[in-house]
Structure 1
Amino acid sequence: MTRGHQLVDQWGRPVKRAELKRELAAPTVGGVRSPITGYPGDGLTPDRLAIILREADQGDPIRYLELAETIEERDLHYAGVLGTRKRSVSQIEITVQEGGESQHDLEMAKMVRDWLDRDELSDETFDILDAMGKGYSFTEIVWDTSSLQWQPVRLEYRDPRWFRFQRHDLATPMMLDDSGQEIALPAYKFIYARIKAKSGLALRSGLARLATWNWMFKAYTQRDWAIFTQTYGQPIRVGKYGPGADQKDQDTLFRAVANIGGDCAAIIPDSMMIEFIEAKSIGSSTDHYERRSDWLDKQMSKAVLGQTATTDAETGGLGSGKEHREVQQDIEAADCKALAAILNRDLVRPWIDLEFGPQVAYPRIVIKRQEPEDLKAFSDAIGPMIDRGLRVATSDVLDKFGLPEADQGAEILRPQGQSALSAQSQAPGEGAMPPESAVKYPLNTHPAPARGVAALQTEAPSAGRSEPVAPAVDRLAKEAAPEIGAMLAQIEVMLQAAGSLEEAREMLLSAWPDLASDGLAGVMAEAFLAAHAGGRALIEEDGQRADG
């Protein structure tokens, strides 16, 4: 821990270490920071909503914040989509990047990394992300100095109603002291988070600013729907009395129809009639109420998630759902970057400054979802490239699939149908070409095939093959093997890359002039020359024998 520097925060306020050792914004019932809240959403009208929003614009956000809280409690759709957006970020694993490569940089990064490995962190970041709805949030850092060190012991969410903004700019955050006066926010004590739905003042940049109007309109629709259901959704009892019925008879009749159940009951003279007039364009259907409520919910989904596919049953097909999902990923990535910047500014840097003093480079928190890689697409792409000569390390491919290197002597998986063939080809004494195959295929350089195939190739040694020719043929097969193997390798690559026999034929014809055949031509030329010379020698030898 260091004490030799006068630390200041982002607003130039000096750090007072004594203030950091106690909680400054804890709630107290009956005090300035009371957890008891109001409910301005009760009986909300457009005029009242406009007044509430104007109050917030002028620096008095209490009723606006209470209304934002009410909407989260009463609108199930808004609570669902906003919770989805906050949890999608708070559940992402947080990583730490070192500020440099020195041992000190590594130690600072490890300290932050160890602290982040806490079960409470997800809930704490969820509370910080309350700024998504209200536009801003405040979280108090409770510091632990029990062992002469500085370390955050927990992050406590604080009700934004207990904070204000300076009147001259409505941007610099302030807090209420115990007497209700607005004072400067103590340096290195609070995490001030802003997650913007739009540019502008924090009091006007939250999603709740959009949700208030949507919620009010939907509340009107649902109220009308309830009235409609009450009117048309239950039976109406009508009792009729004749012209001779007195008041006592009428009272008896009314009690009878009223006690059957519900409030929809009436009595009329037998000569009268009650008629219910329905709107011609609506009738007795409730579809228009449901459609309007669903439409308002979809607008809320667009505002919070940027799309509707993850909240609607009909997504418009796989392509549409995939496209919508990508839009949501853009919003999630922006939220992750915003949260990481907030934590780096208001948590990591103050902690490092208090513990080690000001640094040239600080550890950085990074919040980013690791998207799963399409390994099938990778396999389909890398295979043909390797066949065409691309050099790829085995370790890189194993790392890509998360597979370890096979231990020495471990059983190795092979392509289906190749295991038995490989075992036979590696059996002792069976790796070389059988002599009888060399008679039929003197230039064949491949090992003997499986027994069933080898049996078909077996023939008796050719009676016409003279002893002097046999060594020459064997030598030719040996010297031509590398050249033939190179040509076959090129042809095999083309056959594997071809999608059909016609494509393979075209590839072979077009590549034929470029095949590496010079070496084989040289070997064959030498073989023909040797055969020619050997033949002439045999003729001369036979002639000398005839003369003798």
Structure 2
Amino acid sequence: MADAPIIYGPDGQPIRREVLTASVAGPTVTGVRSPFGAYPADGLNPRRLASILREADQGDPISYFELAEQIEERDPHYLGVLSTRKRSVSQLDITVESADDTPEGKSIADMVEAWLRRDELQFELFDILDAIGKGWSQTEIIWDTSEGQWQPKRLEWRDPRWFRPDQRDGVTPLLRIDAGDAFAQGLPPAGPNGGGYAPLPPFKFISAVIRAKSGLPVRSGLARLACWSWMFKAFTQRDWAVFTQTFGQPVRVGKYPAGSSEKDKDTLFRAVANIAGDCAAIIPESMLIEFIESANVGSSHQLYKERADWLDQQMSKAVLGQTATTDAIAGGHAVGQEHRQVQEDIETADAKALAAIINRDLVQSWVQLEHGPQKVYPRLRIGRPESKNVTQILDGISRGVPMGMAVEKSYMNDLLGIPVPSPGADGRMPELLTPSASASPFGSMFPSASPQQRALAAAEMIMHDVRDPIAVLSDQAARLCAPGSDALVDEVRGVIETSTSLQQVQEKLRALKPGAAEAQMAGLMRMARVIANLTGRASIPDA
């Protein structure tokens, strides 16, 4: 590692390798990066929410990030659709494309692909996709150099409250550091709480920005929209709870006769009050309690439910682009398919954005640390495998190969998902499936066809071959006669298998009348003679 080449970061300065091996953005209970935050969602109102968003726009997004986290904790619908969007991407297949076809390029790609098989990767990608909700996320790369190599050991999600955008551009992330570190680096203080904000070390962070709309990262996350929807729904739920508490039970009215004493009145009042909670009371026989039910309770509560459901549907549209997969309001199979396609489009966009971020901040950094700067770097791709019509492809290959089309065996194995056979631990090849010895080349290609159909297919291939016709006829003579000869052999084999002596075989063969096999063979021979005659005539130059 002492002879490692000098690598420069985006700022043009050499990177400090000793910084890469240390944790620089972890929590500090007694410092400025406390893992415990405030609860701005408590008692939230439009004036307070507007103030929080305005603070975030001006470069102080701490309260906004705290509010975004609280909404995920308190709104089951928002948590559900947001988690669905993140998990659908974090579980997709990841493939690696080598930078070039050189052995070194393939070796580097294999290195990256081997690291991607880690079981923890799915959870790490899920944390990186926190940028979908909050607009950005910062993930610290913990590098492993235990054996003299550079390799990402793990990817640690860092609380977005510990970062803020540079006020000069509103985009560049800065890390919050303690006052002593800020003073040592000559950085200005971060405010009344002390500390300061420093640039992120190169090759140390995965800075993910996934925008729901164009603009600054802090204004482009879905949480900015969700906070308004959640606040309005919280008001609705509060009013609904008050309505239910007030009108969910009938009004109790106690009546006492004239001349009742204060003691009797107190007794009646306690009885009426206790019925609400205890549902039981005793009163003197001379007193009366009436229960008055509201006639419109059943229809009045529907307004609150419809408003809450409508807000959830709007949130589904914002996060997943549709409502059919979350709210069960699809208008039939066609509408459901269309809504699902919209969700898949969003999934594809998220996958491409995530792949670009990892290629930029992790793959290229890793390759430079381990192998030095390269002209081109391997690229990983995230997405669902492309669907292929295997039956149609196999049919085309079965027709094209006899006509000269070249197809690699490895392609067929990949197409069918069948691994290429390899020697076992003892060095011997495993037992492989093989075609029947009596099957002709065309019989294996057209297993359900009759011998005559196979012969016609063979002749058609010969006639459409672009090579020299005479060469084709000489090369394909055996194949052309194969269906008929196979049929003849089958007839003779049947005679031999059913006979008990050589004399009986001779008698059966003499008694055997020409059948379909002989007719097919004769037809094949006539067909070959016709093709040869026509080919010869076609070769005669015009006078």
Q: CA deviation at 1:482?
A: 4.0
* 1:407 lines up with 2:407 in the alignment: no
Equivalent residues of 2:252, 2:289 under 8 A apart: no
- For residues 22 and 408 of structure 2, the distance between their equivalents in structure 1, rounded to whole angstroms, comes to 57
Distance 1:147 1:392, change over 3 A: closer
Unpaired runs of 5+ residues, structure 1, are 448-473, 487-515, 520-548
**Residue 480 of structure 1: aligned partner:** 526
Distance 1:158 1:434, change over 3 A: farther
* 1:68 lines up with 2:114 in the alignment: no
Equivalent residues of 1:14, 1:187 under 8 A apart: no
- For residues 223 and 326 of structure 2, the distance between their equivalents in structure 1, rounded to whole angstroms, comes to 19
Equivalent residues of 1:425, 1:431 under 8 A apart: no
- For residues 479 and 156 of structure 1, the distance between their equivalents in structure 2, rounded to whole angstroms, comes to 76
The within-5 A match list for 1:283-432 is 284-375=299-390, 400-402=415-417, 406-409=433-436, 427-429=490-492
Equivalent residues of 1:243, 1:270 under 8 A apart: no
Q: CA deviation at 1:7?
A: 2.5
**Residue 47 of structure 1: aligned partner:** 47
Deviations 1:127-168 (A, max 9, x none): 111111100011111112222222211111110101112122
Distance 1:69 1:479, change over 3 A: closer
The equivalent position to 1:259 in structure 2, one of 274, 277, 301, is 274
Q: CA deviation at 1:104?
A: 1.9
**Residue 219 of structure 2: aligned partner:** 204
Task: Report the AA paired with residue 49 of structure 1.
Answer: L
- For residues 336 and 112 of structure 1, the distance between their equivalents in structure 2, rounded to whole angstroms, comes to 18
Q: CA deviation at 1:196?
A: 0.7
Task: Report the AA paired with residue 125 of structure 1.
Answer: L
Task: Report the AA paired with residue 133 of structure 2.
Answer: G
Deviations 1:232-291 (A, max 9, x none): 222333211122212111111112222234299999x99999988888xx8744222222
Distance 1:256 1:160, change over 3 A: same
- For residues 119 and 378 of structure 1, the distance between their equivalents in structure 2, rounded to whole angstroms, comes to 34
Equivalent residues of 2:254, 2:289 under 8 A apart: no
Task: Report the AA paired with residue 155 of structure 2.
Answer: L
3-state SS of 1:138 partner: strand
Equivalent residues of 1:258, 1:265 under 8 A apart: no
The within-5 A match list for 1:445-464 is 445-446=519-520
**Residue 500 of structure 1: aligned partner:** none
**Residue 151 of structure 1: aligned partner:** 151
Range that drifts further, 396-405 or 18-27: 396-405
Equivalent residues of 1:124, 1:155 under 8 A apart: yes
- For residues 399 and 347 of structure 1, the distance between their equivalents in structure 2, rounded to whole angstroms, comes to 29
**Residue 57 of structure 2: aligned partner:** 57
- For residues 87 and 307 of structure 1, the distance between their equivalents in structure 2, rounded to whole angstroms, comes to 17
3-state SS of 2:490 partner: coil
Distance 1:382 1:318, change over 3 A: farther
Percent identical: 52
Structure 1 length-normalised TM: 0.72
- For residues 434 and 205 of structure 1, the distance between their equivalents in structure 2, rounded to whole angstroms, comes to 91
Task: Report the AA paired with residue 526 of structure 2.
Answer: A
Equivalent residues of 2:164, 2:175 under 8 A apart: yes
**Residue 29 of structure 1: aligned partner:** 29
- For residues 280 and 361 of structure 2, the distance between their equivalents in structure 1, rounded to whole angstroms, comes to 65
- For residues 213 and 258 of structure 1, the distance between their equivalents in structure 2, rounded to whole angstroms, comes to 39
The within-5 A match list for 1:246-285 is 246-262=261-277, 284-285=299-300
- For residues 371 and 326 of structure 2, the distance between their equivalents in structure 1, rounded to whole angstroms, comes to 48
* 1:218 lines up with 2:245 in the alignment: no
Q: CA deviation at 1:416?
A: 7.8
**Residue 477 of structure 2: aligned partner:** none
* 1:243 lines up with 2:258 in the alignment: yes
**Residue 464 of structure 2: aligned partner:** none
Q: CA deviation at 1:25?
A: 1.1
Q: CA deviation at 1:171?
A: 1.3
Distance 1:411 1:20, change over 3 A: farther
3-state SS of 1:243 partner: coil
Deviations 1:274-312 (A, max 9, x none): 988888xx8744222222211111111111111112112
Equivalent residues of 1:238, 1:265 under 8 A apart: no
Deviations 1:485-521 (A, max 9, x none): x8xxxxxxxxxxxxxxxxxxxxxxxxxxxxx9979xx
Equivalent residues of 2:254, 2:288 under 8 A apart: no
Distance 1:480 1:284, change over 3 A: closer
* 1:232 lines up with 2:247 in the alignment: yes
Distance 1:2 1:482, change over 3 A: farther
Range that drifts further, 51-60 or 184-193: 184-193
Distance 1:43 1:3, change over 3 A: farther
- For residues 413 and 114 of structure 2, the distance between their equivalents in structure 1, rounded to whole angstroms, comes to 29
3-state SS of 2:52 partner: helix
Distance 1:203 1:248, change over 3 A: same
Equivalent residues of 1:235, 1:264 under 8 A apart: no
Distance 1:109 1:218, change over 3 A: same
Equivalent residues of 1:135, 1:204 under 8 A apart: yes
For the pair shown, the structure with the greater C-alpha radius of gyration is 1
- For residues 362 and 136 of structure 1, the distance between their equivalents in structure 2, rounded to whole angstroms, comes to 25
- For residues 273 and 354 of structure 1, the distance between their equivalents in structure 2, rounded to whole angstroms, comes to 83
Q: CA deviation at 1:217?
A: 1.1
Unpaired runs of 5+ residues, structure 2, are 180-194, 421-431, 452-482, 496-508, 536-543
Q: CA deviation at 1:346?
A: 1.1
- For residues 287 and 390 of structure 1, the distance between their equivalents in structure 2, rounded to whole angstroms, comes to 71
- For residues 279 and 236 of structure 2, the distance between their equivalents in structure 1, rounded to whole angstroms, comes to 22
Equivalent residues of 1:236, 1:264 under 8 A apart: no
Equivalent residues of 1:2, 1:354 under 8 A apart: no
Counting matched residue pairs gives: 456
**Residue 546 of structure 1: aligned partner:** none
**Residue 169 of structure 1: aligned partner:** 169
Equivalent residues of 1:141, 1:154 under 8 A apart: yes
- For residues 147 and 109 of structure 1, the distance between their equivalents in structure 2, rounded to whole angstroms, comes to 20
- For residues 144 and 166 of structure 1, the distance between their equivalents in structure 2, rounded to whole angstroms, comes to 30
The within-5 A match list for 1:88-99 is 88-99=88-99
